């Protein structure tokens, strides 16, 4: 009986998707062009160490953000850091599926990166720690 329970527990851990575990993931907060937000995504507010909204909108102000307040779910993605983004040109446009997202609320930021875009500008990528209970699924 104990062996069966251990086997079931091990299978559950191995089968659990990575995004459901408390682990660092990334969300995209917007895009920078010529050093300023262009545009900031709706529903995203960056906060400083004091919990107040950041006043600046340039790269230096964004880099010191400590928390992000989301008024709507934000899609979770793999963190690219400052590496080039994956090129999906020529990939078939698949049918809509459920994808993981971070639910609305405040979450701590572990780091900020600015992956370059091929068309100019750069993304604002926030590395966040995602508690499993904050993951929701969205159809996209």
User: Of 23, 39, 19, 43, nearest to 123 (Cα)?
Assistant: 39
CB 66 within 8 A of CB 49: yes
pLDDT in tens, 18-37: 333 435 699 999 999 887 88
Beta bridge partners of 87: none
pLDDT of residue 13: 35
Backbone angles phi, psi at 15, to 5 degrees: -85, -15
pLDDT surpasses 60 at 16: no
Query: Lowest-pLDDT range, 6-10, 40-44, 69-73, 130-134?
Result: 6-10
pLDDT of residue 134: 93
CB 107 within 8 A of CB 70: yes
To which residue do tokens 């507010």 refer? 45
Residue ranges of domains in the chain? 22-85+97-139
pLDDT of residue 68: 95
pLDDT surpasses 80 at 124: yes
116: number of Cβ within 10 Å: 14
Backbone angles phi, psi at 11, to 5 degrees: -65, -40
pLDDT in tens, 60-119: 889 999 999 999 999 998 887 766 555 555 556 667 888 999 999 999 999 999 988 888
Which residues lie closer than 8 Å to 42 by C-beta, 6 or more apart? 71, 72
pTM of the model: 0.73
Q: At 38, is the pLDDT very low, low, confident or very high (cuts 50, 70, 90)?
A: confident
pLDDT of residue 56: 83
pLDDT of residue 57: 81
């Amino acid at each position: 009986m104990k062996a069966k329970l251990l086997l079931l527990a091990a299978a559950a851990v191995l089968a659990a998707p990575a995004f459901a575990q408390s682990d660092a993931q990334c969300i995209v907060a917007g895009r920078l062009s010529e050093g300023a937000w262009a545009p900031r995504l709706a529903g995203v507010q960056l906060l400083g160490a004091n919990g107040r909204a950041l006043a600046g909108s340039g790269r230096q102000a964004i880099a010191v953000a400590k928390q992000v307040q989301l008024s709507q779910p934000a899609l979770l993605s793999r963190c690219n850091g400052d590496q080039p983004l994956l090129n999906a040109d020529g990939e078939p446009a698949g049918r809509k599926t459920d994808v993981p997202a971070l639910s609305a609320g405040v979450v701590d930021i572990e780091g900020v990166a600015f992956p370059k875009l091929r068309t100019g500008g750069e993304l604002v990528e926030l590395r966040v720690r995602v508690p499993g209970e904050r993951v929701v699924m969205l159809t996209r």
